[in-house]
């Protein structure tokens, strides 16, 4: 039986997780900005202005992730982005004031989708340890399957401006919500302990992506589940999960 989706907050402030909604949105950078189906015909195309604007913005976001993953943020330019998107610089400035605006839009959209998918898996699980494993599995599989976004969101974000660094801190704070299960006596955990676990997992994933080993992220699942549960005195549950058994409370 799936657990209740409403969970109390843990210690410390954190923005709410997005609702689990079926996870149909595409991760930024997963599609080519120049796909024929995304092209806007010149002249009388019959599309409302808001539709055209939405298509252009989405293409710029995808193009940004593709360019920054290939060239690195330091060597990314607006010219490279607009060329990859198939739009003009004038169009870029209609949607974004500067490159960090585009990065922030891509980062927030992608991390929101990722957290939505993780939450969907977490809440469908029968217990908190199972939920942790399900959420981590989704995260590792998504990042392994979307190497461009993984590179941009984990590695290149460090070269961006303060707004991106703030967004990263807020993104990591949302993971505290996965430690809010009263059935496992987690509500009294100090925020520093939770953040240390989150930071350790983030560091391991970052190192794999930065080192060009992102495709191997799913192989890290047993170790990361063990790491997540062990500091909480859940080593027995971690061992049972690794064996494929149903964890005991």
- 79: CATH: 1.10.10.60
Can you count the helices (H) and strands (E) in the chain? 10, 0
If one counts the domains in the chain, the total is: 2
pLDDT > 60? residue 2 = no
Inter-residue contact 228 to 135 (CB < 8 Å): no
Give pLDDT tens digits for 225-244.
989 888 776 655 556 566 65
Rounded to whole angstroms, the Cα distance separating 82 from 28 reads 16
**41 and 116, same structural domain?**
no
Q: Taking 90 as the threshold, does the pLDDT of residue 101 lie above it? A: yes
Cβ atoms of 118 and 224 within 8 Å: the answer is no
Domain that holds residue 91: 36-98
pLDDT per position as a tens digit, 185-238? 777 788 998 999 999 999 999 999 999 999 999 999 999 998 988 877 665 555
Q: What is the CATH number of the domain that holds 212?
A: 1.10.357
Domain boundary among 98, 131, 147: 98
Q: What percent of the chain has pLDDT over 70?
A: 77
Q: Show the tokens assigned to 66.
A: 């593709």
Q: Are residues 132 and 105 in the same domain?
A: yes
Residue 101 CB neighbours (<10 A): 16
């Amino acid at each position: 039986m799936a657990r209740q989706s409403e969970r109390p907050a843990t210690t410390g402030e954190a923005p709410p997780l997005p609702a689990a909604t079926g996870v149909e949105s595409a991760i930024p950078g997963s599609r080519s900005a120049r796909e024929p189906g995304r092209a806007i015909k010149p002249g009388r195309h019959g599309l409302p202005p808001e539709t055209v604007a939405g298509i252009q913005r989405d293409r710029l976001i995808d193009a940004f992730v593709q360019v920054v993953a290939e060239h690195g943020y330091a060597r990314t330019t607006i010219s490279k982005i607009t060329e990859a998107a198939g739009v003009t610089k004038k169009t870029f400035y209609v949607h974004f004031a500067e490159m960090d605006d585009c990065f922030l839009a891509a980062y927030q959209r992608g991390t929101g989708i990722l957290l939505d998918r993780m939450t969907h898996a977490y809440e469908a699980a029968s217990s908190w340890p199972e939920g942790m494993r399900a959420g981590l599995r989704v995260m590792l599989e998504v990042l392994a399957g979307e190497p461009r976004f993984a590179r941009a969101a984990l590695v290149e974000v460090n070269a961006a401006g303060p707004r991106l660094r703030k967004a990263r801190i807020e993104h990591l704070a949302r993971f505290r919500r996965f430690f809010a299960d009263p059935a496992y006596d987690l509500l009294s955990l100090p925020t520093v302990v939770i953040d240390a676990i989150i930071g350790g997992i983030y560091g391991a994933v970052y190192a794999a992506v930065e080192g060009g080993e992102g495709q191997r992220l799913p192989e890290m699942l047993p170790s990361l589940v063990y790491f997540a549960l062990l500091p909480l005195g859940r080593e027995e549950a971690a061992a049972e999960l690794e064996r494929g058994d149903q964890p005991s409370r």
